C-alpha cells in the first residue's frame, strides 16, 4: 500500500521503545538507590503469611472493598489495565517486526473472542475512570482537596485517568478502522472480524476513503502505543508507582502486634538506666548512634518503600482523629513529604556526592513538630491503608528524635515524664498518697 512505509515505522518504533526502556530502567534504578538510603533491617520472616497477604491485599485488593462500590470500580481499572496490556505484547512485536495482528493466525477463532473480551474490559475501565474523574473534580470529595493535595497531586490523578480514557478510545478507533480495512480486502489486515465493542463504531468510518481510514488507523495505533510507553515513563514519577510497588509493600508489611514499637527494648533500657534501676555495666549495646529519625536516611528502607508506594488516596487522613479534630497532622502528608524529601536527597547525592549536606531535613523542613506531636498513636492510619503502609512508624521515629535527641517535647509532657520518673505514675502525687481516696471513703462511711 502506498501510504505504508513499514521500514520507517519499524525504525521509529524501535527508537521510541529503546528510549522508553532506557528512561524506565534509569528511573527504576534511581528509585531503588533512594530506597536503599534507608537503614537496613530484616523483614523476611513468616513468608507464607506474607505471600497470602500479597494475594489477598495487593492482588485481590481486599481492603479496597471496605468501600464496595469504589472497590469494584478500582478493580475494573486495575484488572482491565493489566489484562488489556497483555495485548501490548502483540503490539510491540508488530511494531518491531512490521507485522499486523501477529497472533491472529496462531489463535484462530480464539483471537476474535480474546480481543472482544479486552474491548469489554476497556469499557469498564472507561466507565470507572469517568466516575473517578467526576468524584474528584465535580463532587470534590473532601479528602482529594485537603491542604496537601496541591496542584501536582491533583493534576497527577487527573492525568492518569484521562490518559486511560484516551488509550481505550484509541483501542476502539484502531480496531474499528481495522475492521473497515479488513472488509475492503487490504492484505495487511487479516480477516479477524468485527470485534464486539469496536464493531459498533465501524459505521463511523465505513463511508470514508480507504486512505483516510488507513490514516486514522495508523494515528490511533501510534497514539495508543506511544501513550502506553509514555505512561510507563510517567508512572515512575507519579503516585501511580503503586501499581508495581504495592506488591513488595504488602509483602514486607508489619506483622507485629499493633501498637508494639520496635524500639521498646532500647527505650526500656534507657529509662531503667536513667532511673537507676540498671547499672551501666549491665546495659546491652544495641549499636545505636542516635535515637529516632530526623531525616529520610535515618528511616528504614521499608519506610522509604512505603513513601514511594503511597497512592495519596487519603484514607489514612480521613480516619485520623488528630486530623479530624482540626490538628495539622495528616498521615498522607507524612508519606508525601517523605517521598519528596527522598527525591530531593537522591538528586542532591547525584549532583554533589553522598557526603554533601544541604542543611535540610525531613523533620523541620517538611514535617513540623506540631504535626508529629499531634499523633495519638492510635494506629487507625496503618489499619485502614489499602496497601498496609504504616505512617505511624515514621511519626514515632521522628517523635523519638524530638524526645530523646532534641529534648524537644512540650513542657506539659516533660512534667508527665518527671512524674513517671519520680512517682511511677503520670500524676504529681507521691506513691504513698495513692490510697488517700480510699481513706476519704472510709471517713464518709
Ligand atoms: S496513629 Fe497518629 S497519624 Fe495515624 S491515625 Fe492515629 S493519630 Fe492519626
Ligand atoms: S498511606 Fe495508605 S491510606 Fe494513606 S494516602 Fe497513602 S495509600 Fe492512602
Task: Dump the DSSP string for 353-406.
Answer: -TT---S--IIIIIB-HHHHHT-----HHHHH-TT---HHHHHHHHHHIIIIIS
Helix (H, G, I), strand (E, B) or coil at 317: helix
Residues 6+ apart with CB under 8 A from 9: 95, 98
Place of cell 486530623: 323
pTM: 0.86
Closest CA to 363 of 373, 352, 350: 373
Residue 314 Cα: closest atom of ligand 2: 5
- Give the whole-angstrom CA distance, residue 363 versus residue 396: 12
| Helical axes 301-309 vs 391-400, angle rounded to 10° | 130
pLDDT of residue 191: 86
Per-residue model confidence (pLDDT) at position 1: 46
- Rounded Cα–Cα distance for residues 417 and 62 (Å): 41
Give every CB contact of residue 41 below 8 A, 6+ residues apart in sequence: 300, 301, 302
- Quick one: CA torsion of 367, 369, 372, 375, rounded to 10 degrees? -140
Q: What is the pLDDT of residue 445?
A: 67
- Tell me if 125 CB under 6 Å of ligand 1: no
Rounded Cα distance between 296 and 343, Å, is 10
Closest CA to 391 of 408, 376, 402: 376
Distance CA 158, CA 242 (A): 16
pLDDT of residue 3: 47
> N- to C-terminal Cα distance for the chain?
108
E strand or H helix that includes residue 32: helix 6-35
Torsion of CA 242, 306, 137, 69, to 10 degrees: 70
- Cα–ligand 1 centroid distance for 146 (angstroms): 17
The ligand minimizing its distance to the Cα of 329 is 1
- CA–CA–CA angle 259, 307, 79 (5° rounding): 100
Compute, in angstroms, the gap from residue 316 CA to the centroid of ligand 2.
6
pLDDT at 54: 96
- Supply the residue whose CA is at minimum distance from atom 8 of ligand 1: 320
The CA 315 to ligand 2 mean position distance, Å, reads: 6
Q: State residue 80's pLDDT score.
A: 80
- Please report the pLDDT score of residue 2 as a whole number: 45
Give the other-Cβ count within 10 Å of 232's Cβ.
16
Query: What ligand is nearest to the CA atom of residue 398?
Result: 1
Distance 127 CA to ligand 1 centre (A): 34
CA 65–ligand 1 middle distance (angstroms):
22
Element containing residue 123 per DSSP (H, E): helix 109-137
* Ligand in nearest proximity to the CA of 395: 1
Which one of 67, 249, 387 would you pick to mutate in the ligand 2 pocket, going by the greatest count of ligand atoms within 8 A of its CB? Answer: 387
Mutate which of 376, 383, 384, 396 to test ligand 1's pocket (most atoms within 8 Å of Cβ)? 376
Q: Which residues contact 419 (CB under 8 A, 6 or more apart)?
A: 425, 426, 427, 428
Task: List the residue whose alpha carbon is closest to atom 4 of ligand 1.
Answer: 381
Q: What is the pLDDT of residue 5?
A: 65
Q: Ligand 2 centroid vs 154 CA: distance in angstroms?
A: 15
- The residues that bridge with 363 in the sheet, in sequence order, are 367
Distance CA 276, CA 127 (A): 66
Could you identify the residue written with the cell 488507513? Answer: 214
**pLDDT value of position 285:** 80
Beta bridge partners of 367: 363
Strand partners, 39: 300
What CA–CA distance (Å, rounded) separates 112 from 92?
19
Average pLDDT for runs of 10 along the chain of length 445: 67 93 96 95 91 94 89 86 79 88 88 91 92 90 84 87 92 94 84 90 92 93 92 91 94 88 79 82 78 92 97 94 95 96 95 89 95 95 95 95 88 87 83 82 73
Centre of ligand 2 from the C-alpha of residue 306, in Å:
9
Atom 6, ligand 2: residue with shortest CA distance: 310
Instruction: Give the ligand whose atoms come closest to the C-alpha of residue 389.
Output: 2
- Is 131:73 a contact under the CB 8 Å cutoff? yes
For residues 200 and 122, the answer to whether their CB atoms sit within 8 Å is no
Amino acid at each position: 500500500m502506498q501510504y505504508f512505509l513499514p521500514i520507517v515505522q519499524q525504525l521509529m518504533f524501535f527508537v521510541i521503545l529503546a528510549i522508553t526502556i532506557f528512561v524506565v530502567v534509569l528511573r527504576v534504578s534511581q528509585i531503588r538507590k533512594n530506597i536503599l538510603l534507608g537503614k537496613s533491617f530484616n523483614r523476611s520472616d513468616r513468608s507464607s503469611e506474607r505471600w497470602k497477604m500479597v494475594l489477598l491485599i495487593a492482588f485481590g485488593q481486599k481492603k479496597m472493598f471496605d468501600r464496595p462500590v469504589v472497590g469494584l470500580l478500582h478493580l475494573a481499572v486495575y484488572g482491565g489495565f493489566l489484562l488489556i496490556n497483555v495485548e501490548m505484547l502483540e503490539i510491540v512485536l508488530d511494531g518491531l517486526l512490521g507485522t499486523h495482528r501477529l497472533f491472529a493466525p496462531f489463535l484462530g477463532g480464539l483471537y476474535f473472542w480474546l480481543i472482544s473480551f479486552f474491548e469489554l474490559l476497556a469499557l469498564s475501565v472507561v466507565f470507572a475512570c469517568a466516575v473517578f474523574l467526576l468524584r474528584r473534580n465535580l463532587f470534590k470529595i473532601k479528602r482529594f482537596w485537603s491542604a496537601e493535595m496541591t496542584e501536582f497531586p491533583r493534576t497527577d490523578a487527573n492525568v492518569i485517568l484521562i490518559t486511560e480514557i484516551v488509550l481505550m478510545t484509541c483501542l476502539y478507533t484502531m480496531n474499528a478502522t481495522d475492521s473497515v480495512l479488513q472488509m475492503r480486502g487490504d492484505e495487511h489486515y487479516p480477516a479477524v472480524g468485527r470485534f464486539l465493542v469496536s464493531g459498533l463504531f465501524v459505521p463511523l468510518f465505513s463511508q470514508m476513503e480507504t486512505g483516510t481510514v488507513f490514516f486514522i488507523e495508523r494515528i490511533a495505533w501510534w497514539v495508543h502505543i506511544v501513550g502506553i510507553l509514555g505512561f510507563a515513563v510517567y508512572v515512575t514519577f507519579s503516585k501511580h508507582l503503586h501499581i508495581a510497588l504495592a506488591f513488595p509493600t504488602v509483602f514486607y508489611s508489619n506483622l507485629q502486634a499493633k501498637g508494639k514499637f520496635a524500639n521498646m527494648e532500647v527505650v526500656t533500657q534507657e529509662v531503667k538506666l536513667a532511673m537507676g534501676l540498671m547499672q551501666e555495666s549491665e546495659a546491652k549495646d544495641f549499636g545505636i548512634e542516635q535515637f529516632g529519625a530526623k531525616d529520610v536516611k535515618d528511616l528504614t528502607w521499608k519506610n522509604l518503600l512505603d513513601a514511594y508506594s503511597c497512592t495519596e488516596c487519603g484514607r489514612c487522613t480521613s480516619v485520623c482523629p488528630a486530623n479530624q479534630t482540626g490538628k495539622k497532622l495528616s498521615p498522607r502528608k507524612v508519606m508525601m513529604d517523605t517521598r519528596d524529601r527522598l527525591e530531593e536527597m537522591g538528586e542532591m547525592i547525584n549532583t554533589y556526592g553522598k557526603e554533601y549536606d544541604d542543611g535540610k531535613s525531613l523533620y523541620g523542613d517538611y514535617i513540623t513538630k506540631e504535626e508529629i506531636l499531634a499523633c495519638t498513636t492510635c494506629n487507625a492510619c496503618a489499619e485502614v491503608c489499602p496497601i498496609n503502609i504504616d505512617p505511624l512508624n515514621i511519626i514515632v521515629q521522628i517523635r523519638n528524635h524530638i524526645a530523646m535527641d532534641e529534648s524537644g517535647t512540650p513542657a506539659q509532657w516533660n512534667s508527665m515524664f518527671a512524674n513517671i520518673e519520680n512517682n511511677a505514675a503520670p500524676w504529681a502525687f507521691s506513691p504513698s498518697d495513692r490510697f488517700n481516696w480510699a481513706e476519704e471513703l472510709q471517713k464518709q462511711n
